[in-house]
C-alpha cells in the first residue's frame, strides 16, 4: 500500500461515524434488518439502512459513504435504484498491515 493511499484511509477513519459504519458492516446480520430481496447481505447493506442507523441526513451519509468508497474501504453494488455497500476486506487488511 502506498503512503498516499494509507493517508487517505487514515483521514477517512478520523471520523467517529465513519468508523462506526465500518464496525456495523463487519457484522451486517447483527446490525441491520434483513433485506427482503437479497440473501444474506452478500451484496452489502442498503444505504437507506445505514442512514437510518446513523441518524444523519441523507446528504451527510452520502458524502461519508462516497469518501469511504473512494479510498477503497467500501464496495458498492447497485440493484435497480438501490445501492448496497459492504466492507472491502482486502483494502482493510492492507491498511492494518501497513500501519502495524
CA distances from 35 to 56, 75, 82 (A): 21, 18, 12
Residue 22's domain is classified under what CATH number? 1.10.10.10
* Stated pTM of the model: 0.88
CA–CA gap between residue 97 and residue 83 (Å, rounded): 29
Instruction: List the domain range (segments joined by +) for residue 95.
Output: 3-99
Instruction: List the chain pLDDT tens, one digit each, 100 residues.
Output: 899 999 999 999 999 999 999 999 999 989 988 766 656 567 889 999 999 999 999 999 999 999 999 999 999 999 888 899 999 999 999 999 999 9
Task: Provide the number of structural domains found in the chain.
Answer: 1
Amino acid at each position: 500500500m502506498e503512503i498516499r493511499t494509507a493517508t487517505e484511509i487514515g483521514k477517512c477513519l478520523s471520523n467517529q461515524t465513519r468508523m462506526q459504519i465500518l464496525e456495523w458492516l463487519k457484522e451486517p446480520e447483527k446490525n441491520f434488518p434483513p433485506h427482503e430481496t437479497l440473501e444474506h447481505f452478500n451484496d452489502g447493506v442498503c444505504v437507506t439502512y445505514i442512514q437510518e442507523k446513523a441518524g444523519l441526513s441523507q446528504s451527510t451519509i452520502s458524502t461519508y459513504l462516497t469518501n469511504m468508497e473512494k479510498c477503497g474501504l467500501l464496495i458498492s453494488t447497485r440493484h435497480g435504484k438501490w445501492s448496497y455497500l459492504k466492507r472491502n476486506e482486502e483494502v482493510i487488511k492492507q491498511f492494518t498491515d501497513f500501519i502495524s
